[in-house]
Structure formats: C-alpha cells, structure tokens
Amino acid sequence: MAEPTAGVVASQKAEMPQSEGEKKPELVRVPLGELPIAVQEMRDAILAGVVRGDFDELRTAIEWNELRPDFGLDANSDPIAYWKANMAGDGIEILSILGEILQGPPAKLPIGPDLENNAVYVWPYMSEKPPAQFTPGEKVELYRMVGPEQASAIIKSGKWTWYRLAIGADGTWHTFAQHD
C-alpha cells in the first residue's frame, strides 16, 4: 500500500483552501456498495475485529499499513493497550464506536496531488459537514451515533468533536481519532 499522509488527512477537512471566487467542493456521500475495493477491504478488516470483539483482528487491520494510522496518541503508544486501559469494558467501547461510525456511508474528499488516487473516504460523512447544516434526519443519526450529551456538544460547538476515521482510495487506513 502507498505511504499514508496521515498528517495531511487528519488536518484537512472539506473546507480546503480556495482562491478567491473558487467554489468549495461539494460534499460527496458515497454509498457503501460503491466504495473502491481496497477501501471496502480495509473497512471489512476493521469490522472483522469489531463484530468479534477481537483486538487481535483489529491489530491485523492496523498492521496492513506501511505506517501505523494516526490514532491521536503518542507515536510510540500501542493504541490497543491504550484503549484497553482507558476505555469502558476493557476497550470494548472503542470497538463499539468503530462499528457505529463504519455502519453509515463515508464522505469522499479529493485530497492529494495524485489525480488517479486522491480520494480519501471519511467516516462518518457528517464529520465533514458543519453541524448547523445537518438535516433533521442527520441530527437523528448523530444522536443515535454519539448519544445526547455528545450530540448536543457537537451542535453547540458548531464543529465535529467525536471520532473520525479516514481510509485512502488505495486502502490505506490513515486516521482514527477523536477531534476536539
């Protein structure tokens, strides 16, 4: 797999820099059945660990990359050990979060200079949309995904503050981290 650009993906959003008069790219919501094969394979590998509650399966997906995905932790930290020590249910909470956000469709973002392989797929798609623009149906989805306390915080802050996962068109898992 190609070398990930985790720093670029983690920091760039749909609000990409634009010159004066240039239109912001439209947020594209991709049905799960239309994902590139490499993206679908990585999503499936992550979900294999989730549905089995098996961190070894999840570790396999993490290790598919040449470089470890950005988990918002110190580069030398073992994310699974961290989650087991700091998340509810000896880490099972993080598997639940992964499973929940990967159930819906991602946003497709045109990030990177490679015209043939510049797409990055971001879950949940609504993490790329200003909360003030959420439809009533998207608000229901938000409340189901993150619970009422976190949903209210996202809407009040006007920005996405929950977990976000990104996979490149080549199947590289770039990031999975909570955004503040």
Question: 58-69, pLDDT tens digit by residue?
Answer: 999 999 988 899
CB of 1 closer than 8 Å to CB of 174: no
Residue 3 in this model has a pLDDT that exceeds 50: no
Quote the mean pLDDT of the chain. 86
The total number of structural domains that make up the chain: 1
The confidence score (pLDDT) of residue 8 equals 41
In 3-state terms, what secondary structure has residue 114? coil
Assess if residue 19 is contained within a domain: no
pTM: 0.83
Write out the two tokens for 126: 């609504």
Assess if residue 56 is contained within a domain: yes
The confidence score (pLDDT) of residue 9 equals 44
Assess if residue 100 is contained within a domain: yes
**Rounded to 5 degrees, what angle do the CA atoms 6, 111, 134 make?**
95
Assess if residue 120 is contained within a domain: yes
Q: Which residue has the tokens 């200079």?
A: 113
pLDDT tens for 5-17 read 444 444 444 334 4
Q: What DSSP letter does each residue of 124-169 carry, written as one string?
A: SGGGGS-GGG--HHHHHHHHHHHHHHHHHHHHHHTS--SEEEEEET
The confidence score (pLDDT) of residue 24 equals 55
The confidence score (pLDDT) of residue 21 equals 47
Kindly tell me the burial class for residue 175, based on how many C-beta atoms sit within 10 Å of its own C-beta (0-12, 13-18, 19 or more): buried
The confidence score (pLDDT) of residue 115 equals 64
pLDDT tens for 86-137 read 999 999 999 999 999 999 999 999 886 666 668 999 999 999 999 999 999 9
Assess if residue 40 is contained within a domain: yes
Assess if residue 124 is contained within a domain: yes
Assess if residue 51 is contained within a domain: yes
Which residues span the domain enclosing 103?
A: 27-178
Confidence class for position 79, pLDDT limits 50, 70, 90: very high
> What percent of the chain has pLDDT above 90?
73
The confidence score (pLDDT) of residue 161 equals 94
Question: Could you say which DSSP state residue 106 is in?
Answer: P
Write out the two tokens for 53: 């509650």
